[in-house]
Amino acid sequence: MSNPDLTLELFGKKCNQLLRESEIRFAGIVDKDGKLIAGGFKEGITPHERDETKLKSFFEFVSKASIRKEFDESLGPINYIAARRDKAVLVSFPFPITQILLLISAEPTVNIEILAKKVIEIFTDVN
């Protein structure tokens, strides 16, 4: 898949597939600069963080944290990073080769392990 437009289209479809899950509020692909390049919020969902500048800063922070490699040799690469907050669970899945990541915001009731399995299932399916 060398065509970047086709890759983004595929990522968008996979994010939309995740958004069909009842507990997922947001599924998006974020580049290394914190820019949302595919996906977004589920239709009808109001973001908890309504300030666009803060949202971009958050994307940038998560991107930098998820792509770090200093412990890869001793502990292995990051599979995902999860943060459980009062109002949401945030999970990021880095794609280190392309320096992008999948960021998910879900309801606080979500089971993170089941969510991670679902993400892996969707993103390893080539269709």
pLDDT at 61: 77
Burial (0-12, 13-18, 19+ Cβ within 10 Å), 24: buried
How far apart are the C-alpha atoms of 1 and 14, rounded to whole Å? 15
Reply yes or no on domain 4-124 having CATH 3.30.450.30.
yes
**Extents of the domains making up the chain:** 4-124
pLDDT tens for 72-93 read 889 998 889 898 989 999 999 9
pLDDT tens for 4-39 read 677 889 999 999 999 999 999 999 999 888 889 999
How far apart are the C-alpha atoms of 10 and 29, rounded to whole Å? 11
pTM: 0.84
Looking at the predicted structure, is the pLDDT value of residue 95 above 80?
yes
